[in-house]
Amino acid sequence: MTLTFDIEARDSRSRARAGRITTAHGVIETPVFMPVGTRGSIKSLTPDEVRDHGAQIILGNTYHLYLQPGHELIAHMGGLHRFMGWEGPILTDSGGFQVFSLVYGGIADEIKGRRPTQQVQPGMVRVTDDAVMFKSYIDGSTHVFTPERSIEIQKGIGADIILCFDELPPFHAGYDYTARSLERTHAWERRCLIFHQETRAGGLPFVPPNPDQALFGIVHGGVFPDLRRASAEYLRELPFDGLCIGGSLGGDKQQMYDVVDMTVPHMPDHLPRHLLGIGDVDDLIECVARGIDMFDCVSPTRLGRHGTALVRDRTTPPAERHWRLNVTNAALRDDPEPLDAWCDCYACRRYSRAYIHHLFRAQELLGIRLVSLHNVAFLLKLMHDIRQSIREGRFAQLRAEWLGV
């Protein structure tokens, strides 16, 4: 079967909408947040745990799965669904984000307008109009990604939704470079689409484990309204199954919201819209209000590994809320409350802040698991409540309760 998207409810005071995406591995209710399983694993958590806490779809990383264990092995094992024991839908990114991280250093920081956090190693990447050549961070071996190769790898992984290969220029790139990069990315996306269509019936060096894959294009253009509009209008004429908003999203949250605002009106209304790499509480709510249907981010488990729990924050002014609790804080040493009484995850039902504080102080691995599980469950519950509020005509009320707007 092919992917279908049905919009079932709209908010009268914003662009928020609730719908259903149907894939070969199940239905996804939107708006949706997908936990990230970079290497075929949501760090420290089992597939059953994230499913039981409300996960409908997860993300796998093409770059990392290609380097280890390899897409052909995954295909031989029946695809990523069977390989990792996840029965629901999977989305894979194209690998471009990680490859271009080798070009620009800390591209996650660059995309958000911050200085790079890692030192780029000379000779790690070479970019041409045809391909990207890079060295493996594992063993230094040389590899080549073309648009066709990225799609081939994703077909071997067997995800339900796959993404086009794209270039990610950094935030500091000016208008002229961003425009040239956009032309290159559009050419790559057309090549991805052609290869995807040509190989539906075979022609790959392995048997594709999932013949019903949907392909999403990615809108680029940096922070420039005319480039964003041109990209969205170019891609809407191609037969993609959905569209993502990618590339540089600006130097702060407001600029990111501006990028979404300048892009969404030019995207097709009947296709699902995915905002790549975003997962903060306020960003999820604000970007749902701006018409986004799908989100992904590594932050829930990354925060969990570093002892930061997501919590509701209604004691500080809306502009200062950050939704985070440091579980190693000494004030939690004898705190009998759960991480968040609003959350009904396993960690919040069973354990106190004091116990989780103890686990981190004692460097017990259970602490990482519990906070990671809580963070994932927290965002999944938030998205569930957002969906319900849209369907019941009270999204504006939810937005005001959480953000004070």
Specify the DSSP element, H or E, that contains 399. Answer: helix 395-403
Mean pLDDT along residues 218-230: 97
Give the active site residue among 241, 282, 283, 296.
296
Tokens of 109: 């920081």
- Residue 318 pLDDT greater than 90, yes or no: no
For 269, the token pair is 């209304």
φ/ψ of residue 48, rounded to 5? -65, -40
Q: Looking at the structure, do residues 92 and 215 belong to the same domain, yes or no?
A: yes
pTM: 0.94
Task: Give per-residue pLDDT as tens, 70-128.
Answer: 999 999 999 999 999 999 999 999 887 777 766 555 444 443 444 444 444 556 778 88
Distance CA 112, CA 239 (A): 30
- In terms of domains, do 173 and 255 share one? yes
Q: What pLDDT, on a 0 to 100 scale, did the predictor assign at position 100?
A: 74
CATH code assigned at 8: 3.20.20.105
Asked if residue 327 and residue 254 are part of one domain, the reply reads: no
Q: How many CA atoms lie within 13 A of 311 on its CB side?
A: 20
93 catalytically annotated: yes
Instruction: Determine the pLDDT at residue 168.
Output: 87
Strands, E, within 294-396: which ranges?
A: 294-297, 308-310, 324-326
Average pLDDT over residues 208-235: 97
Q: Is 296 a catalytic residue?
A: yes
User: Is the pLDDT reported for residue 183 higher than 70?
Assistant: yes
Same domain, 274 and 312: no
Give the tokens for residue 259.
């990028």
Catalytic member of 93, 160, 280, 283: 93
Residue-range definition of the domain harbouring residue 343: 308-403
C-alpha pair distances (Å), 4 with each of 27, 198, 315: 9, 21, 42
Q: What pLDDT score was predicted for residue 1?
A: 57
Mean pLDDT of 290-311: 98
Q: Are residues 292 and 182 in the same domain?
A: yes
The residue out of 305, 338, 362 marking a domain boundary is: 305
Instruction: Clarify whether residues 325 and 291 are in a common domain.
Output: no
Give which of 107, 99, 96, 110 is closest to 162, Cα–Cα: 96
Helices (H), 29-94: 47-52, 62-67, 71-76, 80-84
What is the average pLDDT value for the chain, to the nearest integer? 93
Q: Which of 268, 286, 305 is the last residue of a domain?
A: 305
* pLDDT, mean of residues 326-355: 98
Distance CA 295, CA 131 (A): 28
pLDDT for position 105: 53
Examine the pLDDT at 244 and tell me if it is beyond 80: yes
Element (H, E) at 59: strand 58-60
Number of compact structural domains in the chain: 2
pLDDT digits (tens, 9 = 90+) for 358-398: 999 999 999 999 999 999 999 999 999 999 999 999 999 99
Same domain, 144 and 178: yes
Q: Do 273 and 352 have their domain in common? A: no
Same domain for 191 and 101?
yes
Q: Which of 305, 327, 343 is the last residue of a domain?
A: 305
Same domain, residue pair 190 and 127? yes
More confident residue, 171 or 341: 341
Residue 345 phi, psi dihedral angles, 5° rounding: -70, 170
274 and 220 housed in the same domain: yes
203 & 281 share domain = yes
pLDDT at residue 302, as a whole number: 97
pLDDT of 280 above 70? yes
